[in-house]
Chains A and B, each alone.
Chain A
Amino acid sequence: MTAEPAVEALYQACALSMIRVAFVMLDDLPAAEDVVQEAFCSLYRRWDHLDDADSAMRYLRVSVLNGCRSVLRRRAVRRRVLLASQPTAVSAEAVVLDGEEREEVARAVGRLPVRQREAVVLRYYLDLSDEQIGQVMGIRPGTVRSTAHRALEALGRALKETS
């Protein structure tokens, strides 16, 4: 299959889940859409160098995570520039719909360090195995387990403090 229809088909199949992953990571829908769009464009440019559908999927996940990291890094710089970093407002409607506790957990996930947040999102949203998460994050499965463990500990502590 040539690049364009193949990438289009992949976009139809998994753009939504990729945007959702980026949204959980960034808490900013336009930025999440941009990251995913950029990842698909990059996949399209690299299509001829990829071996199979699996490697395309892996490439996509890595691109999305890298894109999220770039956005978070830029945000950190902006904060240093004193560009009036505004915390993302959570709508009252969303709070009611999702429930207080879920909202609290989601906020705690958003406060985790980037690597821990990535491990948690890949594990509990995309249901990837530790090996797959390791491939996407470029770390060993053992490190994935310890990172996720530390993330859960931090979340447990954060939720205890707020309750």
Chain B
Amino acid sequence: MSEITYISEELVMEGNLDSAGSSVVVAGRFKGELRAKDVLLEANSIFDGNLVADKVTLGGLVKGEVAANTLNVASSAKIEGNLKTNALSIDLGAEVSGSITRIS
């Protein structure tokens, strides 16, 4: 198993991150394309772009498209964009605006 990728609080990354076999945790900012097995966007993170992963937890500010087999939207999340998922949970308090569709 390869280790996780951690984008720390102060860090700003812009571009294309492909981490197909492993997990990515974003506590800072990420803009662009993100592909991984598991993704956690922490409470104060900012994400802008396309996210594709098997399992995703959204906790921060999200703009763009998220496609995940299993998707959890935490109460701290603010989302503006399109969510594609087969299994969805949204915690009370999360702000979601956009479309939610199934992947099939």
Q: Determine if chain A interacts with chain B.
A: no
Chain A residues packing against B (C-beta within 8 Å): none
Chain B residues packing against A (C-beta within 8 Å): none
